[in-house]
Amino acid sequence: MASSSEIKKIAFVGDYLPRKCGIATFTHDVRTSVASQYPAADCFVVPVNDNPEGYDYPAEVRFEIEEQEIDSYRRAADYLNFTNTDMVCLQHEYGIFGGPSGSHVTQLLADLRMPVVTTLHTVLREPSADQKRVLRQIAEVSSRVVVMSERARLFLREIYRVPESKIDVIPHGIPDMPFVDPNFYKDKFGVEGKCVALTFGLLSPNKGIENMLRAMPAILREVPNFVYIVLGATHPNLIRDQGERYRISLERLAKDLGIKPHVSFRNRFVAIEELIEFLGMADVYVTPYLNPAQIVSGTLAYAFGCGKAVVSTPYWYAEELLGDGRGVIVPFGDHDALARGIVELLRDEPRRHAMRKKAYMLGREMVWSNVARQYMESFQSARRSRLDAPYKPQQVRTLAEQAMDLPRPKLDHLARMSDFAGMLQHAIYTIPRQAEGYCTDDNARALVLTVQLERLGLGAGLVHRLATSYASFLDHAFDHASGRFRNFLGFDRRWFEETPSEDSHGRALWALGECVGRSLRRDLQIWATGLFDKALPFVAEMRSARGAAFSLIGIALYLERFSGARSATQMRDLLVERLLERLDDCARLDWPWFEHALTYDNAKLPHALLAAAQSGANPQARVRGLETLRWLVELQRSPAGCFRPIGSKGFYIRGGERACFDQQPIEAQSTVSACIEAYHATDDLAWIREARLAFDWFLGSNDLGLDVYDANSGGCCDGLQEDRLNLNQGAESTLAYLMSLAEMKLLESTTPALRTAPVG
């Protein structure tokens, strides 16, 4: 067996104290315990910052990662590689890393040159597609994967297909606390002579504290000297979004129930020394959590390990830790059962103390010194596996490959084209043309873009303000009398079309679905949900194939958040049936398409089928979506191998001559988007290559070899003509480029292979 001396430098990556969160505490404790047990090893920390100011970290912190900045993860990888780090111990929880479902961390892992042991603090039984993809990528790159329960091991094997051979089950560590009589500490907190129940940890609604408060009148009737202490600061994320509203509601509930003298809220994040004293004085520890899907709980581990009698709801970790009489399990949300469980324990002293002793004895295996040794064994195993199968460094990229790196988003022209009312339609060169006003089509696309930028970590300041303007435009565009979106608005704020467009209605529904399914702004989610529900019924009347496709994409996004929504599901199935009928009526062996012509925004049709299939629609939607998209991308490739969309100067009528110009940016955007959807449906990297091929059209990989994107202005030219660019930079073109870039960057954040995937 390799000795620990071979591992001389260990980096612990995760949140870190003084940041107030459970992962920060865990990272601190596991690093401290390993450093204490193995003093010859240099144990340092690379924390993740959730605010630009960072934290006043201790000396062991050597490098800091900015949560939402993807390049920061790459710089961290360079730092770890260049400083000859032997081992990385990563703490994984979706919410602490940037990108969709915390995907930015995969960029760090993809560039590391040393073994990685990842501790998974969350393993979901029903992950979203992004969550499952991210965790599988992490597990694939990690040499060892650590979980803290047998249920988590089972989930990894059966749901995420992680090999059993690389999974280690290591218990959540706990401090080595003495087994004491609770009365020893009670006088210090002024509760001598009382029966004390304790709950501790960062306060948030999923902790179920209100159910414990509702149980207290029944407890007090049987145990009049009972007190309940709630120890812990409100969760920082909750403070940021809602302030102290939840804590105040609990205090108000205690007053309304007449139990306020028996409840003590200690709004503090306490150090371990003080926490040991709080735990020491408790007669009963309570975790009345509301959600079964909690695979580990550090607070429960601490309480159990120091020998507390525990009453808990049956979330996953509690069921495993407290089984076989090691604690009392009561149903979720049943405050009467909670009261009975606590009263019975308090009245039955022999049972309570036997439970305490059993918990304390089992807890000896969980003390940090033992856990540190198990982590070192995992590190050694990871090192041996790397030596047995030597790591092959990534090849140095050629200059040509480096040139394929994605540009940074530049929002200057987007801001120039936008005002308080929304986004203007047209520009002469880079100058917005006020005379031509606004349209719903562009403001819907612009709203989609802001959600994508928000997911990339660019949701503050300008993007937040623009999103609000675009949402306000759509809100004003909706005509409640007809249930439809108007499209064209003059600069004088008058609507000037006679019949609203079905396509613009579909695009608006797409934007609303994007807000509902993927926005991180709760105000946008709530607003969009209400407007989506009002706009959905008209979709049944649509005859436009593209209007149906845009609507279908919006419905699929809506169902990402509300998968049980009956009306949306029914409309999805209706639209899928109609698109498949169109395809059956029109398609022939030499023309597998939905219509007798290829016109504009063509890739949105197969994209819609693929998105619907991902949300659970007719499986034929996936089959036909891939079939039609494959035909389209092959048709859109020039003899030189670059992307060549169907030209708008005549389009392509079946049996006629295909128009090669004017090539429009919207065709590149819709192809990028559809190919990314196809990749998500198949995990086939060929679709990533197709997406990159279409994206590179903006950057000069086209028939004229000209950059359609203007890096100086941040805008995009309005098209590629036979001999030149259309130098006007209108809303549709600029949005097409920025949306393509945002989608490629979102894909990059979840798919490290994109960075080296060959093109062509």
Q: What count of Cα atoms within 13 Å lies in the side-chain half-sphere of residue 378?
A: 28
What is the distance between the alpha carbons of residues 285 and 478, in angstroms, rounded to a whole number?
53
Q: What is the mean pLDDT of residues 591-597?
A: 96
**Cβ–Cβ < 8 Å for 645, 663:** yes
**Cβ–Cβ < 8 Å for 202, 235:** yes
**Cβ–Cβ < 8 Å for 374, 381:** no
What is the distance between the alpha carbons of residues 660 and 671, in angstroms, rounded to a whole number?
16
Kindly report the pTM of this predicted structure: 0.68
Strands 195-200 and 226-231: parallel
- The fraction of the chain above a pLDDT of 70, given in percent, is 95
Q: Which residues contact 730 (CB under 8 A, 6 or more apart)?
A: 417, 425, 426, 427, 718
pLDDT at 754: 52
Write out pLDDT tens, residues 202-231: 888 888 999 999 999 999 999 999 999 999
Q: Phi first, then psi: what are they for 519, rounded to 5°?
A: -70, 145
Q: What count of Cα atoms within 13 Å lies in the side-chain half-sphere of residue 321?
A: 36
Q: Which residues contact 437 (CB under 8 A, 6 or more apart)?
A: 424, 425, 488, 489, 490, 491, 496
**Cβ–Cβ < 8 Å for 82, 116:** no
Q: Phi first, then psi: what are they for 210, rounded to 5°?
A: -60, -30
Sign of the C-alpha dihedral computed for residues 51, 106, 110 and 139 taken in this order: positive
CA distances from 391 to 144, 175, 377 (A): 15, 37, 20
Residues forming beta bridges with residue 725, ordered by sequence position: 720
Write out pLDDT tens, residues 634-690: 999 999 899 999 999 999 999 999 999 999 999 999 999 999 999 999 989 999 999
Q: What is the mean pLDDT of residues 520-546?
A: 95
How high is the mean pLDDT of the chain? 91
Q: What is the mean pLDDT of residues 579-590?
A: 94
Q: What is the mean pLDDT of residues 371-391?
A: 84
State the pLDDT confidence band at 581, using cuts at 50, 70 and 90.
very high
Q: What is the mean pLDDT of residues 347-365?
A: 91
What is the distance between the alpha carbons of residues 346 and 196, in angstroms, rounded to a whole number?
9
Q: Which residues contact 64 (CB under 8 A, 6 or more apart)?
A: 46, 47, 48, 49, 54, 57
State the pLDDT confidence band at 100, using cuts at 50, 70 and 90.
confident
State the pLDDT confidence band at 395, using cuts at 50, 70 and 90.
very low
pLDDT at 389: 56
CA distances from 116 to 7, 62, 171, 385 (A): 12, 18, 19, 11
Write out pLDDT tens, residues 440-465: 999 999 999 999 999 888 767 899 99
What is the distance between the alpha carbons of residues 127 and 242, in angstroms, rounded to a whole number?
26
- Taking the mean position of all CA atoms in its chain, how far away is CA 672? 21
User: Residue 382 burial by CB count (10 A; 0-12/13-18/19+): exposed, middle or buried?
Assistant: buried
Among the residue ranges 268-272, 366-370, 554-558, the one predicted with the least confidence is 268-272
Q: What angle do CA 687, 692, 698 make, to 5 degrees?
A: 145
How does DSSP assign 143-196, residue by residue? SEEEESSHHHHHHHHHTS---GGGEEE-PPPB-------THHHHGGGT-TTSEE
User: Residue 39 burial by CB count (10 A; 0-12/13-18/19+): exposed, middle or buried?
Assistant: exposed
For residue 272, is pLDDT > 90? Answer: no
Beta strands in 291-439 (DSSP E): 309-312, 328-329, 427-428, 431-432, 438-439
pLDDT at 393: 42
Q: What is the mean pLDDT of residues 613-626?
A: 94
Q: What is the mean pLDDT of residues 581-605?
A: 95
pLDDT at 2: 38
pLDDT at 40: 93
Q: What is the mean pLDDT of residues 417-439?
A: 96
Residues forming beta bridges with residue 545, ordered by sequence position: none
What is the distance between the alpha carbons of residues 724 and 662, in angstroms, rounded to a whole number?
10
End-to-end CA distance of the chain, in Å?
47
What is the distance between the alpha carbons of residues 426 and 346, in angstroms, rounded to a whole number?
74
The 8-class DSSP code of residue 591 comes to B
* Owner of token pair 């993007």: 463
How does DSSP assign 263-285, residue by residue? EEEE-----HHHHHHHHHH-SEE
pLDDT at 753: 53
State the pLDDT confidence band at 388, using cuts at 50, 70 and 90.
low
State the pLDDT confidence band at 757, using cuts at 50, 70 and 90.
very low
For residue 151, is pLDDT > 70? Answer: yes
| Tokens standing for residue 750 | 């979840």
**Cβ–Cβ < 8 Å for 532, 556:** no
Q: Phi first, then psi: what are they for 2, rounded to 5°?
A: -65, 140
Sign of the C-alpha dihedral computed for residues 187, 190, 195 and 199 taken in this order: negative
The 8-class DSSP code of residue 495 comes to B
pLDDT at 524: 95
Residues forming beta bridges with residue 291, ordered by sequence position: none
What's the full length of the chain, in residues?
760
The 8-class DSSP code of residue 616 comes to T
501 — alpha (psi -120 to 50), left (phi > 0) or beta? beta
Q: Which domains does the chain have, with CATH numbers?
A: 4-172+369-388 (3.40.50.2000), 183-365 (3.40.50.2000), 401-755 (1.50.10.10)
